[in-house]
Amino acid sequence: MEKQVIRVALVGCGGVVSKYRGAYNGIDGARVVAAVDANLAEAEKAAAELGAERFSSDLAAALASDVDAVVISTPNHLHAQQACAAFHAGKHVLLQKPMARTSEECAAILKARNDSGMRLGVYMNLLEHPLFRDLRELIRGGHVGEVALFSARLAHRGGLSWPGVEGNWRASRKATPLKKTISATAS
């Protein structure tokens, strides 16, 4: 019996993604067929690195008939629009965290997913970062005692302290609106 291969389109190939996108070459049963990024040169570089058949700065390349799943690692303010487009095109979606900026955007994504019957996943790219991996092993090995709370902050509303922060979407109030407080009552 021939093994099924999931054909993947990466949407958002630069920034932090450029540090781990090579991991897709090691996923058995998955093949990157398209690399999409607003920066066409970055998309081309990712396509060459991953052996993708094509690259583009147009989301439509990720919605083509030869794509089974779309991995979205773009700025947060693009998640809802891109995920909904992928679901409407009949694609499974894997979203870089957070799922979206607001509960309304999350609801729109979930509605599109439900209407499409496709699958949705949300991931954190730093889960296998060496620092977190080592901390996890220290805790599992009982080397640090009983852990009641672990908290870390890698980015913040004011943007990152990396060079080029002036153009960084994380520093934009429009792209990262203040969070709304959501109240829930038990029924």
Q: Is the omega angle on the peptide bond into residue 98 within 30 degrees of 0, that is, cis?
A: yes
Q: At a CB cut-off of 8 Å and minimum separation 6, what does 13 contact?
A: 21, 35, 36, 37, 42, 43, 45, 46, 73
Strands 54-56 and 120-123: unpaired
182 pLDDT band, cuts 50/70/90, is very low
pLDDT for 124: 74
> Who has greater pLDDT, 102 or 176?
102
**Interval 141-156 mean pLDDT:** 72
Model pLDDT, residue 152: 62
CATH number for the segment(s) 6-123: 3.40.50.720
Q: For 77-132, write each residue's pLDDT tens digit.
A: 999 999 999 999 999 999 988 899 899 999 999 999 999 999 999 987 665 667 77
In this prediction, residue 185 carries a pLDDT of 38
Encode pLDDT of 49-66 as tens digits: 999 999 999 999 999 999
Report domain extents, the chain: 6-123
